[in-house]
Amino acid sequence: MSGAALVRRALALAGSVEREAVRLRRDLHRHPELGFEELRTTELAVDWLRRSGLEVVRPEGATGAIGRLVPPGWAGRRPGIALRADLDALPIAEASGLEFSSEVPGKAHLCGHDAHTAMLLAAARALAAERRRLPRPVTFIFQPAEECIPNGAPVMIRAGALRGVAEVYGLHVAPDRPLGVLALRPGPMMASMDRFEMTVVGRGGHGAMPHTTRDPVVAAAAVVMALQTVVSRQNDPLEPAVVSVCTLHAPGAFNVIPAAVRLSGTARSLSRELYTALPERIRRTAAGAARACGCGLRFGYSRGTPVLVNSAGPVERVRGLWRDLAAAGAARETVENRPTMGGEDFAYYLDRVPGCFAFLGAAPRRPGGSYHNPAFAIDERALKLGVALHLCLALGAG
């Protein structure tokens, strides 16, 4: 099945499960769960997949689920395709005013993961009814902890999410883009996302007698300023990078120089070379600045996600399918997504198999907040479009 016939079938199937997708999304929205705590969400997904007739695998010792749909008589003739959704919410109080707002204090789906899960569950049910028409197996990845470090993608990969998979696709709703627009690009699209933590160690004392101390507050200030040179003076100006100190904590009283100051922040880049080089540059620069002030440095660096690099072939496949959906009057155009310094652990899947990650325009009819904002909102009409794209990818010849 291809071209106009594929799009007509996908839109009809998406329409048949649209109400279920909206219902699922609202249920998930009311009951948000943080990374690696998605117990209710996982049980909902597992039950839905099993009742739809899919084989389900669960990662050992973690939340999340993998559903597999295999066409009858398939005997390894060609590798399969994987579709991924993320499950976790954010530790932020919701202020959207929606009638189905979060019922859990201090937690909310403010990045659209509820929509991603609902779209993929609805697509799984629709595809289960079309099992005989599938040209290859489909793996549905319901992944925990996208917002965390460490992330959930490696957990799912270890559980076999990419076993027998030749291509992987992910979709993220975009409240800052018009409904029906799809944003994507080949090559690097989202930055690596790492975390650093350091403690500047000095010798505390009375604020009136600074000469008897080794002041870690002054040293920490020097460290913050020195770290600005990692990007501005140690990096090629044509290679995007970010080094941001985001917290600085010096406990004690107003007249006491503390013995230590803690700092933390994030480092990001759009190239694999910088992804490798940044940790040592940050450590060396910070240690040198602290040492110049007579202080020591304890340094820690945690890998978050690698650079998200879309593959050219899958990107063109998604573009073509979206053009067909637009020609059928269901969608709008595709646009080139500028690289962003935001991170996404879908990058781990793309490090192993070719694939494409794209942003689905879902700007709400009334102004709402963007990603990670207490007033985050989307236009739920985007759910049908997301389901339709999943169906086109699974049912198309590839």
Contact predicate 67/117, CB 8 Å: no
Residues 6+ positions from 281 with CB-CB distance below 8 Å = 230, 234
Contact predicate 301/286, CB 8 Å: no
Q: Report the pLDDT averaged over residues 68-84.
A: 89
Is the pLDDT assigned to residue 125 strictly greater than 80? yes
Is the pLDDT assigned to residue 1 strictly greater than 70? no
What Cα–Cα distance (Å) separates residue 377 from each residue in 88, 351, 361, 380? 16, 31, 12, 9
The per-residue pLDDT for range 227-250, each reduced to its tens digit, is: 999 999 999 999 999 999 999 999
| pLDDT at res. 398 | 62
Cβ burial of 258 (10 Å; 0-12, 13-18, 19+) is: buried
The per-residue pLDDT for range 192-228, each reduced to its tens digit, is: 999 999 999 999 999 999 999 999 999 999 999 999 9
Q: Report the pLDDT averaged over residues 318-346.
A: 96
Is the pLDDT assigned to residue 2 strictly greater than 70? no
Is the pLDDT assigned to residue 319 strictly greater than 90? yes
| pLDDT at res. 78 | 78
Give residue for tokens 């009858």: 72
The per-residue pLDDT for range 16-29, each reduced to its tens digit, is: 999 999 999 999 99
The per-residue pLDDT for range 238-281, each reduced to its tens digit, is: 999 999 999 999 999 999 999 999 999 999 999 989 999 999 99
The pTM score is 0.94
| pLDDT at res. 90 | 98
Domains of the chain: 3-189+308-395 (3.40.630.10), 193-305 (3.30.70.360)
Q: Report the pLDDT averaged over residues 131-155.
A: 96
Q: How far is CA 297 from the centre of its chain?
A: 32
Q: Report the pLDDT averaged over residues 23-47.
A: 98
| pLDDT at res. 73 | 84
Q: Report the pLDDT averaged over residues 38-44.
A: 98
Give residue for tokens 């076993």: 163
